[in-house]
């Protein structure tokens, strides 16, 4: 499943469903798709998400391994990197006092 986040003042963001649901929950939302945030609720959701991402960055994680062609292992994309596009969308929504919606993507 893909989830697309949209806001009238920013380009749509499409994320894998598991990542999107996790981000929604970090924002203090139920994680249900489809859903929406009113413009008045976006600043708090953004603060929660940024705080959760920062807390996760502070926790020790598995050592990053270089991509190894022989073993077929690839680097893992840090969760903060996956969250970045949504954080930017939320920041734009806060600046422009806009609602944010999400639905199952194409």
Give pLDDT, residue 56: 85
Indicate the pTM of the whole model. 0.84
Give pLDDT, residue 76: 76
Mean of per-residue pLDDT scores for the chain = 89
Give pLDDT, residue 71: 61
Question: 65 vs 52, which has greater pLDDT?
Answer: 52
Give pLDDT, residue 77: 79
Give the mean model confidence (pLDDT) for residues 91-96.
98
Helix (H) or strand (E) holding 100: strand 100-104
Q: What whole-number distance in Å separates Cα of residue 4 and Cα of residue 36?
A: 11
């Amino acid at each position: 499943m893909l989830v697309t986040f949209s806001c009238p003042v920013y380009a749509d963001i499409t994320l894998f469903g598991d990542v999107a649901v996790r981000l929604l929950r970090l924002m203090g939302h139920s994680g249900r798709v489809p859903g929406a945030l009113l413009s008045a609720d976006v600043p708090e959701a953004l603060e929660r998400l940024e705080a959760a991402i920062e807390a996760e960055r502070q926790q020790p994680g598995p050592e990053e391994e270089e991509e190894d062609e022989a073993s077929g292992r690839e680097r893992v994309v840090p969760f903060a990197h996956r969250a970045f596009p949504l954080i930017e969308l939320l920041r734009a929504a806060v600046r422009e006092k806009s609602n944010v919606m999400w639905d199952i993507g194409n």
